[in-house]
């Protein structure tokens, strides 16, 4: 309907969800539930993190994922291995992809250099596994480190995973319609310098982004290793939950359909 302002939304997500990160994910989920007033966030599931934690073989963690999904948490497919083959002996990136692989992630841009066929196969396998485990359709796909190569972008149009996001936007995979714009607020734990810069950006975001229609916050298992990061996450969630409604990614699609 025209004349009605769109609600301000807060989209929160836990990345790198798998049996190998279970303890950290539990801590993050407890924090998000407390600050968001319930299970109003998404989980990004890695089917076999670095080839060491196959979800298909962990029945206990499968049951936990199903319980989370039953509670209303959206489940996204988050790559397959979360490991960049090119950066780990499987080839070499060139041009812009090489810069992204070296400076925007630590060997985890799995879908940055994949050809379309390989990317589509991993997306479809991940979708089938997540849906079998949770008993619900997967909400969408997010590439590890939010990095997509040309092959991955082409595969997205065929994979049947409705919602996609990167660092700067959320969009419909089928139509390429932008559903939300703006930077995602996230934190880094792997070095002192990256931690400091992520804390500074989060502080800036708390001041600069409240006017945005949609604010995105993404947390990772490594965040629980530093008290400063957990405090910043808590403060950021509290700040935006006061002005933005904790929402599902699907709400963006529903809102777009109503316009």
What kind of fold does domain 14-182+219-225+244-258 have according to CATH? TIM Barrel (3.20.20)
pLDDT tens for 123-161 read 999 999 999 999 999 999 999 999 999 999 999 999 999
Quick one: pLDDT at residue 95? 45
Comparing CA positions, the residue from 220, 227, 149 lying closest to residue 185 is: 220
Count of CB atoms situated within 10 Å of the CB of 125: 15
For the chain, residues with pLDDT lower than 50 are: 1-3, 87-91, 93, 95-105
Quick one: pLDDT at residue 1? 40
Quick one: pLDDT at residue 89? 38
Count of CB atoms situated within 10 Å of the CB of 227: 8
Quick one: pLDDT at residue 96? 47
Instruction: Check: pTM over 0.85? Answer yes or no.
Output: yes
């Amino acid at each position: 309907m025209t004349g009605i302002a769109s609600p301000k939304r807060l989209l929160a997500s836990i990345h790198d969800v798998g049996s190998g990160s279970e303890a950290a994910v539990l801590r993050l989920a407890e924090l998000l539930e407390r600050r968001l007033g319930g299970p109003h966030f998404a989980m990004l599931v890695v089917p076999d993190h670095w080839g060491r934690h196959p979800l298909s073989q962990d029945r206990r963690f499968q049951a936990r994922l199903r319980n989370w999904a039953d509670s209303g948490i959206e489940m996204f497919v988050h790559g397959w291995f979360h490991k960049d083959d090119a950066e780990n002996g499987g080839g070499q990136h060139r041009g812009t992809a090489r810069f992204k692989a070296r400076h925007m992630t630590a060997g985890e841009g799995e879908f940055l250099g994949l050809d379309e066929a390989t990317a589509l196969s991993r997306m479809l396998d991940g979708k089938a596994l997540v849906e079998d485990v949770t008993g619900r359709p997967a909400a969408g796909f997010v590439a590890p480190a939010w990095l997509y190569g040309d092959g991955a972008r082409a595969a997205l149009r065929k994979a049947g995973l409705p919602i996609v996001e990167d660092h700067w936007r959320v969009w419909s995979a089928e139509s390429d319609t932008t559903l939300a714009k703006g930077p995602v607020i996230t934190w880094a734990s792997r070095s002192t310098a990256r931690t400091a810069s992520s804390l500074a950006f989060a502080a800036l975001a708390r001041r600069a982004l409240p006017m945005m229609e949609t604010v995105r916050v993404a947390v990772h298992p490594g965040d629980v290793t530093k008290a400063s990061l957990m405090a910043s996450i808590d403060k950021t969630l509290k700040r935006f939950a006061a002005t933005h409604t904790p929402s599902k990614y699907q709400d963006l699609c529903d809102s777009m359909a109503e316009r």
